[in-house]
Structure 1
Amino acid sequence: MDPRPEIDTTVPHSARVWNFLLGGTDNFPVDRQAGEQVFQSFPGMVDMARRSRQMLTRVVRFLAAEAGIRQFLDIGTGLPTMDNTHEVAQRITPGARIVYVDNDPLVLVHARSLLTSSPEGATDYIEADVRDPGPILAGAARTLDFEEPVGLMLMGILGLVQDYDQARDIVRRLVEPLTSGSYVAVYDGTNDDPAYMRAIEAFNSGSGAVPYTPRSPGQIARYLDGLDVLPPGVVSVTRWRPDPGPDGEVPPVACAGGVARKP
């Protein structure tokens, strides 16, 4: 790969906007401007971003510690932050193997330096687009053994596919080669909060970034058709097996997800 991929700093990118909302610094003025626009019209966006990230951590912890998953394919990984998939998994299973996928060249730059593996395990990065599963699966096969169960992570990425039927077909194509006992984890923004929807509509029309399409919890649940959905089902990310806390139950946010096992 070219060690210095071209990075367009004139157009916001979802990975960098998300990094800004999470409090990161790996973003450009255009990303911060887009993130601020969303935040001004929907202040709950920062909390939603952080709650979503916390669900990812809980999912990986569950898959590695309880489900026995030793391989992860994380598509739409975004920029490295705290508790990336490989860090959570390899704390539990040092030999875990993780493949990250994203299409922002800046993520590639950071992946090389930050997404380092434990000595016992392996980590790889693929620059690819979720809309084209073929190269993702072919590239992942260099690191992952598809004859063994895999944890497929599709966290906040399917909303970037505007056509719903295409998004469902992408999930089907990604799940098809996975062996029985594999798991699929998804979350995406939901269309049941008017303030969030207004913010996203403004972002889509004014930022120049790839549009994001929130969907209903029922539509998100249909990504998992044909799989065995784990309790509590597809719910707000704050309600998916939350860690006990001193303040009790955390209110729901406009983002829903769930985890399912391939029979």
Structure 2
Amino acid sequence: MIDTLLRDTATAEASAATAPVPPDVGETGRVLYLQREHDHRHSLLPSPFRVAQALLGDPHPYESEQHVLNQLWDVVPVPGELALAPYRCHGRVVRYLAAQAGHRRFVLADLTVPPPSLTPLHAEVHRYTGDATTVYVGSDPMALTHARALLAEPCVAVEDGNVLDPDTAMTAAAEHLDLSLPVVVQLGTAISHCNDRTATAMLTRYAHLLAPGSVVIVSAYTAPAAGPRARIARAVADIHHRHGLGPIRFRPIAALDNLLPGNMIPLPSGPGRAPGGFVSCDRWWPTGPRIDSGPVSPAAGMVATVAVTIP
């Protein structure tokens, strides 16, 4: 593992030779620190991955990401909830699917490394199913480097693949999983970064590639067409655009439901609920308690999730 990291960061040491490496960080920590210094020197633009890490609680964001965070704080109450709410929700979903539904094969699109206060998604799976296999898939080079250093362990793999391209992502996952059997695929908020037609086509392709009984976990940013959350959504989208972070779309819940192809069947989001579509991340509790009302932070309420099965 360390040898791989050293190869991936060979130029980092040269460009960061004068950087004071913190003491007692260990070999992996040293390599990651040098990678950080290299990336900082060679990228003046914020990275979507690094912004996500900062929103999750990275205590040492780059200056470019800190600038984005400062702007988000100006328009979003507790902006970290835009990342924390779906991460906590995805933990509940994979925990339920592993512990209650018996799934043993997982493909996870979220390469962010959570702070100590959060359990990594693969750890949620393996807490209940020691024989499960989890494959993280992503295409951001820095995200892959971090994930290979900090997430990979026995029964956990990290592969290069773009989740927006289902064929590429599942080909990468097939290095470790038998795709003729049911698989759980977690797509993060991928559909919020493409238009309606592309989002539906992507989900349709995943449904075609996956075996019956598979589950796809989809999250998306949501906001009504008018009102305070609509204004927050427009401000966040503008910040993304100005900093070159790519498009981000906030859709009403009904519009999100319309993106799901007909061969994806939503699972119930909580006890006593009929199967439905997208719900706020804070409302997705498959084993209870049933939460239908109560305080939800404005940012947490702007991310919705659905888990769908392939018949």
Q: Which residue of 2 aligns with 1:90?
A: 126
Paired residues for 1:90-169 under 5 Å: 90-118=126-154, 122-161=155-194, 163-169=195-201
| The structure with more radius of gyration | 2
Partners of 2:259 and 2:104 lie apart in 1 by 23
Match of 1:230 among 243, 267, 271: 267
Compare 61-70 and 7-16 and name the one that shifted more: 7-16
TM-superposed deviation, 1:151:
0.5
Q: Which residue of 2 aligns with 1:12?
A: 46
Post-superposition CA distance 1:53-84 (Å, at most 9, x none): 11011001111011111111112x13211322
Match of 1:207 among 212, 237, 243: 243
Match of 2:220 among 185, 188, 213: 188
Contact 1:74 1:100 in 2 (8 A): yes
Contact 1:42 1:195 in 2 (8 A): no
Q: Does 1:49 align with 2:54?
A: no
Contact 2:111 2:144 in 1 (8 A): no
Q: Which residue of 2 aligns with 1:174?
A: 206
1:17–1:142 distance in 2 versus 1, CA, 3 Å: same
**2:127 partner SS:** helix
Q: Which residue of 2 aligns with 1:240?
A: 284
For 1:111, give the aligned amino acid. Answer: A
1:69–1:250 distance in 2 versus 1, CA, 3 Å: farther
Contact 2:196 2:259 in 1 (8 A): no
Query: Which segments of structure 1 move beyond 6 Å, counting only runs of 4 or more?
Result: none
Q: Report sequence identity in percent.
A: 27
Contact 1:227 1:261 in 2 (8 A): yes
**1:45 partner SS:** coil
Partners of 2:43 and 2:83 lie apart in 1 by 22
Compare 123-132 and 102-111 and name the one that shifted more: 123-132
Gaps of 5+ in 2: 10-34, 270-275
Q: How many residues align?
A: 256
Gaps of 5+ in 1: none
For 1:204, give the aligned amino acid. Answer: H
Contact 1:26 1:79 in 2 (8 A): no
Q: Which residue of 2 aligns with 1:3?
A: 8
Post-superposition CA distance 1:6-62 (Å, at most 9, x none): 845322222211211121146421122112211211124223422221101100111
**1:93 partner SS:** coil
TM-superposed deviation, 1:244:
4.4
Partners of 2:158 and 2:148 lie apart in 1 by 8
TM-superposed deviation, 1:214:
1.7
Post-superposition CA distance 1:88-113 (Å, at most 9, x none): 10111011111112222221111111
For 2:282, give the aligned amino acid. Answer: T
Partners of 1:211 and 1:24 lie apart in 2 by 23
Contact 2:75 2:236 in 1 (8 A): no
Partners of 1:29 and 1:171 lie apart in 2 by 36
**2:159 partner SS:** strand
Contact 2:137 2:172 in 1 (8 A): no
1:223–1:144 distance in 2 versus 1, CA, 3 Å: farther
1:165–1:114 distance in 2 versus 1, CA, 3 Å: same
**1:169 partner SS:** helix
Post-superposition CA distance 1:241-260 (Å, at most 9, x none): 17649xx8442611111111
Partners of 1:78 and 1:61 lie apart in 2 by 17
Contact 1:239 1:250 in 2 (8 A): no
Partners of 2:91 and 2:236 lie apart in 1 by 25
Partners of 2:107 and 2:259 lie apart in 1 by 17
Give TM-score scaled by structure 1 length: 0.88
Q: Which residue of 1 aligns with 2:102?
A: 68
For 1:188, give the aligned amino acid. Answer: A
Contact 1:152 1:185 in 2 (8 A): yes
TM-superposed deviation, 1:184:
0.9
